[in-house]
Amino acid sequence: MVQKKAKPVNGEDSSPNSTEKLSTADRTARLRLRAAWMYFVEEKTQNEIAQHLGLGRVTVVRLLSDARERQEVKFSIEGELGECVEIERKLEQKFGIREAIVVPVSSAEGDACLPISAATGEYLSKLVSPEMKIGVGWGRTLWESLAYINAESVPKVSVVSMLGGITKTKQFNPSEFAWRFSNLFKAECFLMTAPAIVDSRQTKQALIEHCGLNEVFNKATDLDAVLLSIGDMDKESTPYRYSFVPEEVRESMVEAGAVGEFLFNYFDVQGRPIVHPIQDRVMSVSQDVVAKCPERILVSGGVRKALALLGGLRAIKPTVFVTDELCAKKILDLAG
């Protein structure tokens, strides 16, 4: 189902000056909505839309992407898959989760991120309420969920970034996610204006005590909810693929028994923290603080992450867990 924020145009305005009256932004918005209507409602192909509108196919792809980014296109699929519901109940019972949300995926080779993100966006749209204080992490799944969240001004909401920003970023900067998430709800946003990893324990302490970051860390101890994803120890994971964390640190963490991390808090398969010097240099909220938050929302999936998520479930003990069916099955198998 497509919900439109502006009425789609079914025909051209035949008045001779109609095109001249439209600004460039208006013309772009008009094309964007028409392309979205034809693609999602009329189910025309991108090539058909390009031919009909007299545009290049690349332009049509960009228009459709922009429509999603601007929240002009939303999907609502009703009904539940019995098998997914069964898996949800097993996860809830096994790990003491209040609500597990398991989304279907077509195959293990498919990208589980997008369906998980869609379910996450729908859940968060209903979760955020007036005067709520929310701490957020980062990652691709959380980033993709932004496109599925209903933008709505909610009074007196606060968003706290629980991890320092990445000074060299390719795609998923923690600070930018926190800002974009807060902007959807017109919320107050508190950013951790420091690198994610600093050079020494002394630098970390100085930033907290003398650069105003103590306010952010203090707010993190009084949150109503935290929103997190889990990273695994694979070389292709975002922190290592883009060299946010040195390879020698990743290797030493693996040798110490780490299976995953959240906010660069590393843990083993039992959820126990890994003791490592890097923890003294990471500008992030600790595992202990996260564990004390009353509402802990964990969002991650993909079969590759199953072992990391098993440890993450034990470390965070989430109240809400959003994942995909194949990853959920693998987690249950690993947990015995």
Residues 6+ apart with CB under 8 A from 152: 125, 184, 185
Q: Are 165 and 174 in contact (CB under 8 A)?
A: yes
User: Taking the model in full, what pTM does it have?
Assistant: 0.76
Q: Of the ranges 62-71, 101-110, 237-246, 251-260, which one carries the lowest mean pLDDT score?
A: 237-246
- Domains of the chain in start order, with CATH, are 1-76 (1.10.10.60), 82-335 (3.40.50.1360)
Could you tell me which residue, 109 or 258, shows the higher pLDDT? 258
Got the DSSP string for 233-288? S-TTSHHHHTTSS-HHHHHHHHHTT--EEETTEEE-TTSPBPP-GGGGTB-B--HH
Residue 232 — very low, low, confident or very high, per pLDDT cuts 50/70/90? Answer: very high
- The predicted pLDDT at position 63 comes to 92
**pLDDT 10s digits, 148-163:** 999 999 999 999 999 9
- The predicted pLDDT at position 171 comes to 55
Q: With both helix axes pointing from N to C terminus, report the angle between 201-210 and 213-220 in degrees, rounded to the nearest 10.
A: 90
Highest mean pLDDT among 63-72, 135-144, 221-230: 221-230
**pLDDT 10s digits, 182-214:** 999 999 999 888 888 888 999 999 988 888 899
**pLDDT 10s digits, 84-130:** 888 999 999 999 999 999 998 877 777 889 899 999 999 999 999 99
Q: How far apart are the first and last CA of the chain?
A: 40
Among the listed residues 180, 170, 166, 144, the one whose alpha carbon sits nearest the alpha carbon of residue 68: 144
- The predicted pLDDT at position 142 comes to 93
**pLDDT 10s digits, 292-317:** 999 999 999 999 999 999 999 999 99
